[in-house]
Structure 1
Amino acid sequence: MKFIIASFIRRAALLCASCCAFAAIVLPAHAQSRDSSSAELLLSDEPMVFTASKKAQRISDTPSAVTVITRDQIQASEATTLPELLRGAPGVDVIELNRSNTDISLRGTNNIFSNKILVMVDGRSIYQDSFGGVFWNMQPILISQIDRIEIVRGPGATLYGANALAGVINIITQTPDKVKTQTRQAAGEQNSLFSEALVNAGDGITVGAAYRRTAGYNAGNSGYQRDDHALATANFDVQRGHGLGTWRFTGGLTDGKTELSTPYFSESYGRWRSGFLSASYRNDGAAPYSIRGFFNGSHIDGSGAGRDETYDLEAQQQRQIGAHHSFVYGADLRRIQSNSSILGASGHGQNLWALYVQDEYQLASQTTLFGGLRVDTNSSYGTNLSPRLSLVRHLTPTQTARISYGSAFRAPTLLEMYLDVSFPTTPELSLRTLGNPNSKPEELTNLEAGYRIDLKHGGFAGLSVFHYDISRLLEYQVTQYASPAPGLPAVIPVLVETRNGGGAHAQGAELETEIAIGPGVKALLNYSYQDIHRDNGMPIYFAPKHKGNIGIVLGGPGRWNGALMAHIVGAMDYDAAASKSGRMGGHTSIDAAASLRVGSGADGWRLGISATNLLGKEYIEFPDAAIQTGAAPSASIHPRTCWFSIAR
């Protein structure tokens, strides 16, 4: 904890000074009038999104497939984790390995330690640059803070750079001026406890605290890896207005013990500490601009002990040129540093700088062409270009069609470049796994088309179809075998190394609809098809070909809130090893929640009950029995889990 706290104190002034200096260098001063289009957008009933184009837009104007999980849905679900909120969205693949390990990706690219999507909180990346992927259960964020979640499917590298290969998930929190003081306490099976408190301290300041613990699915089962955890979180959010501009300072800490089942940690249960500090300024004048600096830090104790730090500074501006061109452009600087026992004796780091631009060109009154390009230069793997071209056509006031072409890349992590660990496989032999400092980024090209119609009595229906190709897949390949005994053939792997290998190809479709049934009541239905294979035809990654969700949500200010959602997951072919594949059967699970507001007014108490896998039909979401040689199985059997909660 000393490391995190000291870092916060040392870097708070540095972030503020850096933002101001960057603004003076990159961004000019602007007129004091507000953009009139922003007011028009706020009057629209159609959902507003920011992530798809780094500017506020109606969802039908964006060049991407976008899904929004609203605050009403979040509250109605009674969810206690981020993965619970994302499981029901189209194109989203969730592997809950056990209660402490969840991996999430988009469009069939999921895997253990999934690393094919960029995840952000308020535009701040929480992707673990050193190791890849996201530690979903260890983020210093409260569920009650979340205003909405924007899911952008398809490559996002033109605006966001590395790791937005299959898409972007942006978790957007409430600003302090919208926060109401609230608390929520919940108790569930597996000796689970969930506690949150969010306080509006006035004058644009909010503070939050949370505690979460569980004995895990594997409690009392010595045949499986432990998956219990206990984590405490604290954060703050400060907002200050200045003319047309707004300053925002946020920070948070998470501290506790958790199990991290990875291919690289042999005894991974240990203390986890992570934190962040962010300072940003946004000016909403005639040519809006923003500056943000942030620091992410984490520290793991145990056999995979190490410390990771990420520093980032970004400036962006939106400018209208003439009657037809609207530009978004910016610059980004990043430093990644890691010191870990599994990355060799010395620490490793990377420096990154990037420039990006996107032109939204009005071809005709109902037709818009998006063209963009980003240049990323990294001190380890060189320069990457990420172009995108999209055409959006409003066929009628309620119908929109789009077609897009784009590319993206996933950067090799420090783990893939410098990993050096060994595991015993027999009394005489060990398996050594090495990274490759010469690793190059994975690259993806994507072509997709989409259609959306707003329904007459509320709601919408949408369809997206896509095809993408991935090249230079980064994988661990066996490069040396040894004999189990003298005179016998060499059949036991003793050396595995990171290599850029072949490619993969995928095609798929996503159908999504939302229908308003009555005040505060809506039905949700989506179906995803995704078929992805290697160049040689073998399956790859861990995602079903067919997947659907159907449910009903009752949200809003009424006395009753609730949600009922069925998740239907088809059978899955997977690549179990370099030379064989397997198949795992499908399953259907039902999540349900209901809450009743008691007392008078909007500030009354709310009593809730919820359950995941309500019918109790047990299943697993990952087929491998064990992640590493000789270890106990880590993929848990999912039982029913019930929760009781009280909130105000």
Structure 2
Amino acid sequence: MRWRSVLWPPAQARVRRFALEQGGDMKGLIPAVGLGLLCAVAGAAQEPKPSPSPSPQKEQEQIVKREETVVVTASKTETTLVNAPATLSVVTSTEIISSPAQNYGDLLRSVPGLNVIQLSARDVQMTSRQSTNTLVNSQLVLLDGRSIYLDFFGLVLWDFVPTNTSDIKQIEVVRGPASAIWGANALTGVVNIITRSPREAAGALGTNLTLTGGVIDRDASPVGQSLGTGGSYGASFSTNQAPNDRWSYRVAGGFYHSDALPRPVGRVPPDHHPLDPSEPVGGGIFPPFTNSPTNQPKLDLRVDQEAGGGGRLTYSAGIAGTKGIVHTGIGPFDLRFDSEKKSYMGYGKVGYVNGAFKLNAFANLVDAEAPNLLSTDLQGVPILLRFKTQTYDLEAGHSVVLGGKHILSYGGNARRNIFDISIAPNAKDRTELGAYFQDEVFFNQFRFVVGGRVDKFGNLKDPVFSPRITAMYKPLASHSIRLSFNRAFRAPSTINNYLDVTIKAPGADFPLGAVCQLAPPLCASNPGLARQVLPLGPRAIGSEVARGISPSLPELQEESLNAYEAAYTGTFAGRTTVGLAFYVNDSNNNINFVGTPSVIASVGLPGLFTAKNPPPGWPFPASLVDLPALRAAVFNRVPATYAYLNLGPLRQKGFEASLDHRFTDSVSGFANYSWQDDPKPLDADPGQLRYPIPELSVPPHHRFNAGVNLSTKRFLGSASVNHVSRAFWNDVLASLGYDGFTDAFTMINGSFGVRWADGKVTTTVKATNIANDNIRQHVFGDVIKRSIVGEVRFQF
């Protein structure tokens, strides 16, 4: 009976959905039940024996080859890709094992519509269907349904994922907004990492030990540093055991290290903004700072208890730490993991599932510290980011079939966040409540999805409603044409509301002797002033701090997104899947960290230092700040304030095409192309700030990915190419000249492995950027060079 419990959970709910999706009503229920019984009998007949029969993991992989991939992220209920109400991509366990990727960025880079960048040895960011900047906070990331983003800002530290890749069943990527089901932060999309249950992975080869080691080329001349050859190494271990029919468990852990990557050198080439030729950009000299390697330890535990009536209780806990660079709008921070301070995320989770009913409770506990390597306060002390957060979440959901033509899904959650953040000393704790409802209606070849979610956040006056409407036409069972509308939102984060830190601008030391030369009597009583300098820099503030300066400034509103999409998904002969999608995303009340002085001044905040707003510590009469000579040389160039503001509507549109083909049961291939138009500011409402061109980054217009995967009893491997066109960035200290372009690049990656001893030992060589090009994926990011890694995997 083990096969049945692995392949058909929850059996009753899946059979009923299968009947509706095949026939549009319950007439197909009898053959569906017959199919389920046949599979159960076949599974019972193939219980493991002393002879070399397939392990449950191999059995499942064989079934996946014969059936459509089942996904859950699109609507929190199981469905197939062709029937999903949203555009969705899946990375399978076979692709993960053969991939040469050493991080989640490289692993997901080939997903159409997903903009992935790597900025340092540990810093990976990704966003669907818009430009990806530092500290992405619009992409929801889940691990088995548990959110892993950091609630104080909404960003994801991917090295806080405590799971080993060998335990991942699949990764589902929703390429579009999903707030109607998942709530806030699912503004541009969702990444859901789904692991195998311990019982699913247990068997003759349920224990896995993986050792890796490799070299990194770090000669990035002439555009970057020329360092000695670097290295990376790691180890991971997991064991999945099912000692009886009631209990199963997994113990997993690992460690990964990578040396620092080379930094770019020289000057950001002076140029002009791609959307406004009159707007100069660039010119900043890349600052020297000591780049940091990364260390990433992790430990994860899970215990499953089979309960009566077909239910299952799951208990899990884990911890993951990290060291290394995380890039931000005010420069790089270096997350600490040493003898004095360790940056980590721990969690505990209890879940219950019975059929379509799910109940989960979890806690995320984060404690981290990171000094800034570039920005200091006005006294020259590096800005120190300390953050301790506690997140507690309770969620319930259910799905039922009603009247033979409806699948109703409903649920909700309550969430409590407790914050302690050094750069937001007045941050307030927050309570979040949400509830969703969705109805999938079946009319033979037509089906409709209508649903919505209501969320109430402690920092928003009114509840937020996120609707979803999808109309789908299925001319054949394996083909669907879909029109959809979604509205999603992102609530202001605690940093958006309460950030308060003054930053010394690099190189912005004002020589007070310049005033002494213009007006010698002012320094006569204190000659030492002529030899002193006054550090200058902006005060970076959140919306609530800004409202204390300018009371007429309205409260920061939630950022919203209206998404319109037309899509097609079709499978031919059970081997070839084609996907097409055209989308228009209209965002409004965009929450942006604004540094353009004219925009700052327009809302009543000090955009520049003036006689009315002299710089802190100015020892002379304030009127001298407005002297033309000083303004031209200094004070028209150094901003006085950075602030989080709501900006007007912005339109993003694009097109995606994908082709996946299975040549044989052992060889598959893929190719996809994504086109994205320039972002276009739309007319603002009365009293609303129009989105200023200088605040816009421009994503690459063209991205192309292609590859093949091989997995036989003896060999495994992959080969892929990723091409990304030119892009423009302005999200890191743009006012100081660090806004600019990255060149188009092409990455060629590959791996090849051999299985030994009946699959118990696998040796693999993996390489990324085989051509060893100097690749920068962000104007302020590290230079990516060739990496070659050897891997030995033991299964027993």
With normalisation by structure 2, the TM-score equals 0.72
Matched with 1:47 is: 69
Partner of 1:187: 213
1:7 is aligned to none
Whichever residue aligns with residue 578 of structure 2, its letter is A
How do 1:481-560 and structure 2 match up within 5 A?
Answer: 481-482=608-609, 486=625, 487=627, 488-489=630-631, 490-491=635-636, 492-535=638-681, 538=693, 540-541=696-697, 543-555=699-711, 557-560=712-715
The aligned residue for residue 20 of structure 1 is: none
Q: What is the CA–CA distance in structure 2 between the aligned matches of 1:262 and 1:34, rounded to whole Å?
A: 45
Aligned pair 1:467/2:538, yes or no?
Answer: no
Question: For the residues of structure 2 that align with 1:502 and 1:595, how far apart are their CA atoms?
Answer: 52
CA contact (8 A) 2:292 2:334 kept: no
Unmatched segments (≥5 aa) in structure 1: 1-30, 625-634
Identical residues among aligned pairs (%): 25
State the match for 1:643 in structure 2.
789
User: Structure 1 residue 230 and structure 2 residue 295: aligned?
Assistant: yes
Unaligned runs of 5+ in 2: 1-9, 19-31, 37-62, 216-229, 266-286, 338-342, 371-383, 510-533, 545-554, 601-605, 616-623, 682-690
The one-character-per-residue Cα deviations of 1:578-610 (angstroms, maximum 9, x if unpaired) are 8997433211011111110112x23x2101101
Report the 3-state secondary structure (helix = DSSP H, G, I; strand = E; otherwise coil) of the residue aligned with 1:103: strand
Q: Which has the higher strand share?
A: 1
**Corresponding position of 1:296:** 364
1:295 to 1:231, Cα distance in 2 relative to 1, 3 A: same
Q: Is the 8 A contact 1:218 1:225 kept in 2?
A: no
Deviates more, 1:192-201 or 1:487-496: 487-496
Deviations 1:231-268 (A, max 9, x none): 21111111111121111111111134333232357753
Matched letter for residue 367 of structure 2: H
User: CA offsets, 1:476-519, max 9 Å, x none?
Assistant: 22432116974233412122111111221011111011111122
Task: State which of 240, 259, 267 in structure 1 corresponds to 2:305.
Answer: 240
The count of residues paired between Structure 1 and Structure 2 equals 600
Q: CA deviation at 1:393?
A: 1.2
Contact kept in structure 2, 1:534 and 1:540, CA below 8 Å: no
Corresponding residue for residue 15 of structure 1: none
Q: Distance in 2 between matches of 1:32 and 1:493?
A: 62
| Equivalent-residue separation in structure 1 for 2:260 and 2:735 (angstroms) | 32
User: Of 155, 172, 177, which aligns to 2:199?
Assistant: 177
8 Å Cα contact 1:545-1:571 kept in structure 2? yes
Instruction: Name 2:538's counterpart in structure 1.
Output: 431
Larger radius of gyration: 2
Give the C-alpha shift of residue 78 in structure 1: 4.1
Tell me how far apart the structure 2 counterparts of residues 445 and 219 of structure 1 sit (CA, whole Å).
38
> Which residue of structure 2 aligns with residue 27 of structure 1?
none
How far 1:134 sits from its partner (Å)? 0.5
**Aligned equivalent of 2:236, options 196, 201, 221:** 196
Contact 2:100–2:768 (Cα < 8 Å) also in 1: no
Q: Is the 8 A contact 1:80 1:143 kept in 2?
A: no
Q: Which shows bigger deviation, 484-493 or 240-249? A: 484-493
Query: Which of residues 104, 108, 111 in structure 2 aligns to 1:89?
Result: 111
CA deviations on 1:61-119 (whole Å, 9 max, x unpaired) are 11111111001100111433222211111111111011121111111241110111111
Q: Structure 1 residue 308 and structure 2 residue 411: aligned?
A: no
SS at 1:260's partner residue?
strand
- What is the DSSP-based 3-state SS (H/G/I as helix, E as strand, rest coil) of the residue aligned with 2:110? coil
- Between stretches 197-206 and 401-410, larger displacement belongs to 197-206
Q: 1:611 aligns with which of 767, 777, 796?
A: 767
The answer to which of 349-358 and 294-303 deviates more is 294-303
User: Residues 91 and 219 of structure 1: is their aligned pair in 2 closer, same or farther, counting only changes over 3 Å?
Assistant: closer
Aligned-pair CA distance for 1:532:
3.9
Q: Structure 2 vs 1, CA of residues 457 and 170 (structure 1 numbering), >3 Å: closer, same or farther?
A: closer
Name the CA distance, whole Å, in 2 between partners of 1:251 and 1:279: 9
CA distance in 1, matches of 2:793, 2:12: 42
1:403 aligned to which of 475, 483, 493: 483
The one-letter code matched in structure 1 to 2:492 is P
5 Å-filtered alignment, 1:90-489, equals 90-179=112-201, 180-189=206-215, 190-203=230-243, 204-218=248-262, 223-242=288-307, 243-264=309-330, 268-271=334-337, 272-284=343-355, 288-302=356-370, 303-344=384-425, 346-362=426-442, 364-382=443-461, 383-425=463-505, 426-427=508-509, 428=534, 429-437=536-544, 438-456=555-573, 458-478=575-595, 479=600, 480=606, 481-482=608-609, 486=625, 487=627, 488-489=630-631
Contact 1:264 1:421 in 2 (8 A): no
The residue type equivalent to 2:586 in the other structure is: D
Q: Distance in 2 between matches of 1:147 and 1:369?
A: 29
Question: SS of the residue aligned with 1:430?
Answer: coil
**Secondary structure at 1:178's aligned position in 2?**
helix
Asked whether the 8 Å contact 2:479–2:570 carries over to 1, the reply is yes
1:569 aligns with 2:613: no
Q: Which has the higher mean CA deviation after the structures are superposed, 265-274 or 430-439?
A: 265-274
User: SS of the counterpart of 2:484?
Assistant: strand
Contact kept in structure 2, 1:188 and 1:643, CA below 8 Å: yes
Residues 504 and 532 in structure 1, CA contact (< 8 A), matched pair in contact too: no
Task: Kindly indicate whether the alpha-carbon contact (under 8 Å) linking 1:532 and 1:540 is maintained by their aligned counterparts in 2.
Answer: no
For 1:212 and 1:298, locate their aligned partners in 2 and report how far apart those are by CA, in whole Å: 20
The Cα shift of 1:38 comes to 6.1
How far 1:160 sits from its partner (Å)?
0.4
SS of equivalent to 2:136? coil
Q: Pick the structure with more helix per residue.
A: 2
* Residues in 2 aligned to 1:408 and 1:183: alpha-carbon distance in whole angstroms: 41
Q: Is the partner of 1:110 in helix, strand or coil?
A: coil
Q: For 2:470 and 2:12, how far apart are their aligned partners in 1?
A: 30
Change (3 A) 1:258 1:37: same
**2:755 is the alignment partner of 1:597:** yes
- Give the superposition deviation at 1:201: 3.9
What is the alpha-carbon root mean square deviation over aligned residues?
2.4
Residue 137 of structure 2 aligns to a residue whose secondary structure is coil
Residue equivalent to 1:23? none
Distance 2:211 2:648 in 1: 49
Structure 2: how far apart are the matches of 1:187 and 1:566? 23
